[in-house]
Amino acid sequence: MIKKLSSRSLRMTVMGLALAGLGACAFSDILEVRNPDELNEDLLQDEALIDVLVSSVKGDFDEAFDDPFIWRGSMFTDESLTGINWEQTARLNQRIVQYDEGDADLMFTELSAALQQGDSVAGRLRTLLASPNTDARFARTLAYAGYSYILMADAMCEATVAVGSEIYQPLQLYQFAVDRFTEALTVATAANDDDLVDLVRVGLTRAHLNLGNMAEVITIADQVTGNFQYFADYTSENPSVYNVLESRTVGVNHSLGVHPKFVAGGVFGTQNLDAVLTDPRIQHNPKWRLGHNQLTPLYTPYASLMMSNYNGQDIASGGSPARIERGSSIAFASQLEALHNRYEALGDDPATLAFVNTRRAVGNQTALVGVSGAALIDELRDQRGKDLFLAGYRLGDLRRWLRGGQDLFPSGTHVNAQWGDYGTATCFPLPLEEYEGNPNINLPG
């Protein structure tokens, strides 16, 4: 059987094979593979490649996380605006996404690569590792597989897995994440790896929240270590692992701006917003500029709270917020997220108001008194949006709230009035390429 690997995984695997010196399989033989994008799966059944395989799982996840998941996912919501001068990208920013265009294909393909790599390597480690049930590498691989299922459930309307015949709905995908996290928690605990235990616990709170298992969310969130964060890693030293968001915020052709929902003071279109840029979590250029399409007003965002180089400074106080950099890593799991999941699960409660006020204090906002009911839940969601801004949460959040009966997707006339009104899409459809390439499914209709 031949298994196709992503470009990053292929590079890492070939490097590992070269370093391992696999007996009769010389490095020159690998270079003579007829299709350089494919490697015989049997070559990966070697204990010397364990660390390479585990690293490839992380590499595929990180690669998919900044783009397409964050960048394209954010412009599908009320988080960011696009200045790209491509018609299909403009449609994506209008909540119009078509199954026969590139954005749907890229989203599904990249997330599928991460998901399948996680599952495949986890399966290999069961036999390659001497003691898989106490090995942190096995737990880490299961954890990344779980998070890949979460991203797939957050983004896709429905999905196949590993060229299978069944088309799964988001709630089924979240349950697959729970299954992998549950095993990962047992292994990480046995391995005495506290960071992995917290990584898995946060993932469990997120998956259970989407499944409506509120008691589990509260119980597990309370066990996450204070100030815990776990990052998708990017570096300025290697172009293949730059944070893609950096290139969208610099230069004449910059193309990423803050949506009106998160513009300081709620006064989109106004120049010189220095005085109202008081919340350090949502800092952006106080003046909008035109970017790649010379049409969309773009308030360029600075590094958000979940980015590794966030410095907590705000412009209104004379500070200099950090810019998004090529090496800005992004936390995809944190105690702060677990707390948000906890209080969303708890709902209308005085403890929820107390949590909201701690987050308002971070944003230099005054405390709320006597707020409850729908107003409290709205404020909790608002604080969640600011705490987790541009870090891969918004699309999944809006879809979860929609399943609960509240539609918070942007609607009405787009910022660029000549584009017309927003569409009604809330997720990425299974792409044409999957229907054409997967012999087990047929085009609908």
Split at pLDDT 50, 70, 90, the class of 18 is very low
Residue pair 427/156 in contact by the 8 Å Cβ criterion: yes
Q: Are strands 289-290 and 80-82 parallel, antiparallel or unpaired?
A: unpaired
Determine the pLDDT at residue 3: 33
Here the tokens at position 316 are 């209104």
- Domain ranges across the chain: 1-44
Q: Are strands 330-334 and 80-82 parallel, antiparallel or unpaired?
A: unpaired
| CA gap 317, 312 in Å, rounded | 11
**Could you tell me how many residues make up the chain?**
445
| CA gap 325, 439 in Å, rounded | 42
Residue pair 289/276 in contact by the 8 Å Cβ criterion: no
**Which DSSP helix (H) or strand (E) runs through 130?**
none
Number of other CB atoms surrounding residue 42 within 10 Å: 11
For the whole model, what pTM was predicted? 0.91
Here the tokens at position 95 are 């909540």
**Three-state DSSP class for residue 310:** coil
Mean pLDDT, all residues of the chain: 91
Question: How far, in whole angstroms, is CA 156 from its chain's centroid?
Answer: 13
With CA atoms as reference, report the closest residue to 201 among 405, 4, 339, 372. 339
Interacting residues of 380 by C-beta distance below 8 A, sequence separation 6+: 340, 343, 344, 352, 355, 356
**Per-residue b or e along 70-109, where b marks 16 or more CB atoms closer than 10 Å to that residue's CB:** bbbbbbbbbbbbbbbeeeebbbbbbbbbebebbbbbbbbb
Q: What percent of the chain has pLDDT over 70?
A: 90
Per-residue pLDDT averaged across 295-309, rounded?
97
Return the sign of the alpha-carbon dihedral for residues 90, 96, 102, 106.
Answer: positive
Using the 8-state DSSP alphabet, how is residue 47 labeled? G
Number of other CB atoms surrounding residue 269 within 10 Å: 10
Q: Is the pLDDT of residue 34 over 60?
A: no
| Whole-number Cα distances in Å, 93 to 84, 97, 423 | 10, 9, 9
| CA gap 395, 382 in Å, rounded | 14
Determine the pLDDT at residue 16: 38
With CA atoms as reference, report the closest residue to 262 among 301, 229, 232. 301
| CA gap 251, 215 in Å, rounded | 48
Residue pair 71/256 in contact by the 8 Å Cβ criterion: yes
Per-residue pLDDT averaged across 138-148, rounded?
98
Determine the pLDDT at residue 45: 67
Here the tokens at position 213 are 């298992």
**Three-state DSSP class for residue 256:** strand
| CA gap 145, 136 in Å, rounded | 14
Q: Are strands 256-258 and 80-82 parallel, antiparallel or unpaired?
A: antiparallel
- Read off φ and ψ for residue 333, nearest 5 degrees: -150, 140
Residue that is written with structure tokens 């690998």 in the block? 30
Split at pLDDT 50, 70, 90, the class of 400 is very high
Residue that is written with structure tokens 């031949």 in the block? 2
Split at pLDDT 50, 70, 90, the class of 128 is very high
Determine the pLDDT at residue 60: 97
User: 364's torsion region: left (phi>0), alpha (psi -120 to 50) or beta?
Assistant: left
Split at pLDDT 50, 70, 90, the class of 148 is very high
| CA gap 261, 410 in Å, rounded | 9
Residue pair 239/8 in contact by the 8 Å Cβ criterion: no
Determine the pLDDT at residue 308: 98
| Whole-number Cα distances in Å, 295 to 36, 97, 124, 405, 419 | 42, 21, 50, 34, 11
Q: Is the pLDDT of residue 310 over 80?
A: yes
